[in-house]
């Protein structure tokens, strides 16, 4: 692929080869995944993963702008989506538009993502009508952790109908895709059949139109806890701790720096000079 897809291209991937996506927060991480991902999400998970916050609630617009700019510098062929942080879009459609426009203008993101279903449908329609492509996020919505009462599976049993209504509402409002987080597999498949926009699963189903994971989770860099839906493809946190222990032992034994890491007192011969 020579250029990044647009939100309409992502929408058109409904029912095709599953969409691949990960989160990213920095330039090198974005560069690492650019060629593999259809889109990259600058997630507000950055607060927990990189800043040590206890939840995503303390993430600010300034943090999203700064990480969004860093990620944008690392992407050439993946589309960039950026999360609207808690408090930046719930109060009114106008506040949501102002903050979405700022995120897009200052980072170059092609789209924003916001959490919520039926209750956010009007806001999604307002944004889409004004040039802001919106990715919706329903099921477990971490910004509502204090009203949801924990990071529980959403849409089980009697809650199924509400989740289906949320999916229909965000689709009808004009969202170009919808993230389904931590819902029963069978329900994720039903939602995927119900809506004509791609469903992006995280703790959902292999039947979704795409998948997303937090990159630090799948690389084994974030190890404070591991959700059941995370598959660790690497153990970079352990590798890093081992490397640091080896460095510490080398320093204490004066094995580091070695001959190849130190400088002689003589200036190197000028290039092209005869010996």
Is 154 among the residues that bind ligand KIV (CB under 6 A)? Answer: no
User: Among residue numbers 212 through 241, which ones bind Na ion (CB under 5 A)?
Assistant: none
181 is catalytic: yes
Residues in the chain: 275
Q: Give CA–CA dist 271/266, Å, rounded.
A: 15
Question: Measured in Å, how far apart are the chain's first and last C-alpha atoms?
Answer: 50
Interface residue with ligand KIV, options 43, 133, 174, 203 (CB under 6 A) = 43
**Contacted by 85, from ligand KIV, Na ion, none: CB < 5 to 8 Å by type:** none
Is 90 annotated as contributing to ligand binding?
no
Measured from the Cβ of residue 43, the count of other Cβ atoms closer than 10 Å reads 27
Q: Give CA–CA dist 13/213, Å, rounded.
A: 19
Considering CB under 6 A, how many residues would be counted as binding ligand KIV?
11
Q: Which residue out of 106, 181, 185, 260 is catalytically annotated?
A: 181
Is 83 annotated as contributing to ligand binding?
yes
Is 221 among the residues that bind ligand KIV (CB under 6 A)? Answer: no
What are the C-alpha distances in Å from 206 to residues 156, 210, 222, 256? 18, 8, 23, 48
Give the contact letters, 18-57, x = binds to Na ion (CB under 5 A), - = no. -------------------------xx-------------
Residues involved in catalysis? 181
Q: Which residues bind ligand KIV (CB under 6 A)?
A: 23, 41, 43-45, 83, 137, 179, 202, 212, 214
């Amino acid at each position: 692929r020579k250029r990044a897809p647009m939100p309409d291209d992502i929408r058109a991937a409904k029912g095709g080869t599953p969409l691949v996506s990960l989160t990213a927060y920095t330039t090198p991480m974005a560069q690492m995944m650019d060629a593999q991902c259809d889109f990259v999400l600058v997630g507000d998970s950055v607060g927990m993963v990189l800043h040590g916050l206890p939840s995503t609630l303390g993430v600010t617009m300034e943090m999203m702008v700064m990480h969004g700019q860093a990620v944008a510098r690392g992407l050439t062929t993946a589309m960039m989506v950026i999360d609207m942080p808690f408090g930046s879009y719930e109060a009114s459609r106008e506040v949501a538009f102002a903050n979405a426009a700022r995120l897009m203008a200052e980072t170059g993101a092609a789209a924003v993502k916001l959490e919520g279903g039926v209750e956010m449908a009007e806001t999604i329609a307002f944004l889409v009508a004004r040039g802001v492509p919106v990715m919706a996020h329903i099921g477990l919505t971490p910004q509502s952790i204090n009203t949801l009462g924990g990071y529980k599976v959403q849409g089980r049993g009697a809650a199924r109908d509400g989740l289906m209504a949320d999916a229909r509402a965000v689709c009808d409002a004009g969202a170009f895709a919808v993230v389904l987080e931590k819902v029963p597999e069978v329900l994720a498949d039903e939602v995927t059949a119900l809506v004509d926009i791609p469903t992006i699963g995280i703790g959902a189903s292999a039947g979704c139109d795409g998948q997303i994971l937090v990159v630090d989770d799948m690389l084994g860099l974030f190890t404070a806890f591991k959700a059941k839906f995370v598959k660790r493809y690497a153990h970079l946190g352990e590798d890093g701790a081992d490397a640091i222990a080896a460095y510490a032992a080398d320093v204490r034994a004066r094995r580091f720096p070695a001959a190849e890491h130190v400088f002689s007192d003589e200036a190197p011969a000028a290039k092209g000079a005869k010996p």
